[in-house]
Structure 1
Amino acid sequence: MAFVHTRPHPHADERAALMGWFDLQRGIIATKCTGLPDELAHRALIPTSPLMTVAGIVAHLTWAERLWFEHSLLDIPGTGPGFDDIEDSEFLAAVDRPLAEVLEDYDRRCQQSNATIAGLDLDALARRPSRHGAEPTLRWIIVHMIEETARHAGHLDILRELLDGEKAYF
């Protein structure tokens, strides 16, 4: 998918606005990784969070897309990293993998999420209740994922500047 680098139209309807902001944040994630060599993409800079690397964050976001739009929303059983009861295993899934491969996985997962979203009403309820017992709407899940993606885009802003001095909003 071509990652978006523009804001949604100020008069967009609800779905277009939500997806516009979501796709913009995903585009920022991809942009923050552009041109970064694998050595730096896997370098840990935070001693108390050694898995918080550029590649680790992208792998985490790939898992979060799968968690919310496949596992929670559609009730498809989760398997593999992030679903295996190993703490932070979705971050570990990026170790020793080229950043380009991790980004390709993220891109594929975003496309799959978008296909799922397109086929459902924003009021559709998740088929798998959250750990708090609630069944969030698709609207709530999208807003949550905008927040999750934007939060990690901010982390990538900081990591990228510390790694090679690269600064840009998007």
Structure 2
Amino acid sequence: MPRTSRRADTPPPRTGPGEVEVLRGFLDYLRTSIAAKIEGTPEPQARTADVPSGTNLLGLLHHLTHVESATFLGERVTNWQATFHAAPKDGVADVVARYRRTVERANEVLDGCTDLGAPTPRPQPGKPAPTLRWALTHMIEETGRHAGHADILRELIDGATGR
């Protein structure tokens, strides 16, 4: 039976009054939550799939790193399914650090964006640029969905719960 570790729940963020502040605040909240959920997960359980779909913690964060890169940095992804698998040499600390660096780079781009109706500043090659509003909303949805998956997977591994 896994040991139970309850992390204090972090409430949703208080943000500024504008739409940009609200969207960025909630995205950063979810980014922090999922990285914390995966950080410290023991190896090899972090890459073990305890569900029939094959989903695992490292794969989720590796995937989100690619989604951030594609959405905000314009990097092209040719095989989305492959993004759900971290390289065998990558440990938890490697994947978490890469995710955090990518988020930092994405935030540097976003810091210059104030018009949510404007196209993303670095669209993927050969694709129309979505609006910044769409991109932020998509990343909130994507990160939130996978943070929920990570909650369940982490609890299955060692009983850790909470945001």
Query: In 2, Cα distance between the equivalents of 1:166 and 1:119?
Result: 37
Aligned match for 2:57, one of 54, 57, 60: 54
TM-score of the two chains, using structure 1 as the length reference: 0.79
Taking structure 2 as the reference length, what is the TM-score of the superposition? 0.82
Partner of residue 97, structure 2: 104
CA distance in structure 1 between the aligned counterparts of 2:109 and 2:123, rounded to whole angstroms: 15
Q: Which runs of 4+ in 1 moved over 6 A?
A: none
Aligned pair partner of 2:66 in 46, 55, 63: 63
Structure 1: gaps spanning 5 or more residues? 72-76
Q: CA RMSD in A?
A: 2.3
Q: Does 1:161 align with 2:163?
A: no
Structure 2: runs of 5+ lacking an equivalent: 1-9
Percent of residue pairs identical: 38
After superposition, residues 81-160 of structure 1 pair within 5 angstroms as 83-85=77-79, 88-120=81-113, 121-126=115-120, 128=123, 135-160=129-154
Shift of the 107–11 alpha-carbon distance from structure 1 to 2, 3 Å rule, reads closer
Is the aligned partner of 1:21 residue 2:26? yes
Aligned residues: 152
In the other structure, the counterpart of 1:12 is 17
Q: Which has the higher contact order (CA 8 A, sep 6+)?
A: 2
Contact 1:125 1:138 in 2 (8 A): yes
Q: Is the 8 A contact 2:50 2:56 kept in 1?
A: yes
- Tell me if the contact between 1:56 and 1:94 (Cα under 8 Å) persists in the aligned partners: no
